[in-house]
Amino acid sequence: MRQQETRLALIGNGAIAGEIIRCVSGNDSVSILGALVLPEELDMLSDHPLVSSLKDMLAWKPDLVVECAGHSAVNDYAAPVLAAGIDLMIISIGALADKELYNQVKEAASGSSAQVILPAGALAGVDGLVAARRAGLTRVSLTSRKPPLAWAGAPGVEGVVLEEICEETVIFFGNAEQAALMFPKNANVAATTALAGIGFEKTQVRLIADPAVKRNTHVLEFEGKPGLYKIEMAGIPSADNPKTSMLTAYNILRMIEQRVSAIVI
């Protein structure tokens, strides 16, 4: 039976959480119960309750928990939330490049009635990629291009002076597993591509710092039995978090709304 309302709890209370809350504001089919945060963040200004223990969050009895706090939050909370029988939407999809963590999350979901939900985020064409995988794929690649400072803080750019980049520069070329772990706040799209397609090790990723671009651009290509597909995106960055695209929050909202919608597309 279809739910009439989704009781939603968040892990994290930062920029992405704020975007989710703004998106669901006024939506009578979704209620925000509150957010699980670090103890030092309990004094943050917030329009909803904040707790610092998983036990307290689970006491709200959410229908869905949305993780939006980074790789460490997936590591700490994903399996316990799923083991409690609560659906979990993971925004920091790059964390699943860790094979051990991926297996823990999968086992926790398989052993309960809960599902792991992975939104498309900033990536278009995920539906086609998943469909093509079922028919048979031979190649999947992703090229992501962002302004130099959008890559700041990633382990993959240690020693690179981003401020001095004056022309397009490839800062990473390798597979999706390496990209997701070396650029944890930037390369969730690489992890999404890998999980939707042919896996982390076989998915080719190129990351480019380009001072000429104003938008976060991604080119997704995949080839196999269904044909050759190339999808190019030029997303406007989030005003609060330039490392991610505005589309990310709306893709999250789409998946939340599908839980209660009479018609799903």
Active-site residues, by number, are: 218
The helix, strand and coil proportions of the chain, stated in percent and rounded to the nearest 5, come to 35, 25, 40
Q: Which of 246, 243, 239 is nearest to 144 (CA)?
A: 243
d(CA 123, CA 251): 9
Question: Which token pair is 169?
Answer: 């520069």
Question: Which token pair is 44?
Answer: 């943050």
Q: Which amino acid is at 76?
A: D
Residue 67 parent element (H or E): strand 64-67
d(CA 97, CA 197): 14
Q: Which of 89, 217, 78 is nearest to 145 (CA)?
A: 217
Position of tokens 């689970």? 58
Query: Helices 71-83 and 99-110, interaxial angle, to 10°?
Result: 20
Query: 155: how many CB neighbours lie within 10 A of its CB?
Result: 9
